[in-house]
Amino acid sequence: MQLSKAIVICSNQSQLFEVPRVSKLIFARIQLLLNELDIPLYILLGFRRDLSRKPGPGMLTFYEQHLNEGIEVDRANSFYVGDAAGRVWTDELLDAHCERVMALLKAEDFSNRSYVRKDRYFNDEPVDANAIIAKLKPASLRNKFEADFSDCDLKYALNNNVGFYTPEEYFANHPSMPLTVDFDPKKVGTNPAPLDVTGGMVILVGPPSGGKTFLCKNKFASFTRINEDELRTRDAGVRAARECLQRGENVIIDGANAIPEKRRDYIAVSRAAGVSCTVVFLDVSVNFSLHFFRYRKVSCDVGTQFTPPQIVEPQEYAHLSQNVVRTYFKQMQPPDESEGFDRLLRITDETFPVQHTPVSQMHLP
């Protein structure tokens, strides 16, 4: 096949099959593009929260495998244009941007185009675009641009290793703005901390999706794991910890343990048993926890570059939302040695001993 160029439009449309009015509008715009552009054009819409939803890379992967005869896109010479770039505008940049947008709008003649809006009875009402633009002032546009609604387009480009432009940069030759992402999953675990605890009791303190159970299985596999959620009550957890220590077993308490009151009873049990008590504090960021929360929920499509293994959400997490992560950070009180434990180990985003997969290093939807 001869190498050529194409435009691939990738858009998140979660309401595509849920709201008929939205579906009609989307397909009308698609038809307009197909009528006006005489070039190879592919339009992909992501409507589920999986790796085919931006910033997940799945739409471009689908294009390569199913629409491009299996030929990989030349990423070094490709780029993505999107307005969800995570920009927060300064007053100076915002004023200049609004002036440029106003100049572009007023330089265009919209008289040969038809626009409508819904009246109070939801009927179509003709709109004179030129008349509306004539009354516009730059200040009235400020609230449209003060901050981007998302940064998923920028992260989509990063996931796919292609260049990135905002629409203002690419189509109107506006100056570029410095762009950064709030969290880079590839930086997790760049300097893993040694966890040299050999015995006694370990109490984990950390958020949901903060890596607690991972540590239990991979760094404290010889310890007996105690989890109150599985045992149903606090008393059952404390009793199980006491009995394990009496049998000479090492114990790890797997739970959020966000406040001193949650940690106190277990510390007392370790004191009574005469064993050392170490608190491992997962002092990770909110974005770390949200990233691995999404990682749990992502299912990979069979037959793509992301499998095996499949990443399937465990059943016990099916009912949880990201709010449980944010609630933890609002309530959490960092552990302090005045609580009576013997040792405090602190783990951050950079020192968490992660075992990365290709998916865990992506920006996830």
Residues 285, 319 within the same domain: yes
Of residues 307 and 253, more confidently modeled: 253
Inter-axis angle of helices 286-297 and 323-331, nearest 10: 150
Same domain for 219 and 322, yes or no, is: yes
pLDDT mean over 49-70: 93
**For residue 54, what are the CA distances in angstroms to 94, 107, 141, 181, 278?**
26, 33, 27, 14, 41
* Tokens linked to 124: 């179509």
> How many folded domains does the chain comprise?
3
Between these two residues, 299 and 41, which has the higher pLDDT value?
A: 41
Domain check: are 229 and 336 in the same one? yes
* 220-230 per-position pLDDT tens digit: 999 999 999 99
Residue 94 in tokens: 């915002």
Claim to verify: residue 263 and residue 321 sit in the same structural domain: yes
Residues 6+ apart with CB under 8 A from 262: 255, 256
Residue 319 domain-assigned (yes or no):
yes
DSSP class of residue 10 equals E
Domain membership flag for residue 31: yes
Q: Are residues 63 and 96 in the same domain?
A: no
Question: Rounded CA gap, 114 and 222, in Å?
Answer: 71
For residues 326-336, give the mean pLDDT. Answer: 97
Domain that residue 93 falls in: 89-146
**58 plus 101 within the same structural domain:** no
Band (pLDDT 50/70/90 cuts) for residue 11 is very high
What is the model's pLDDT at position 29? 86
124 and 267 inside one domain: no
Q: Are residues 28 and 125 in the same domain?
A: no
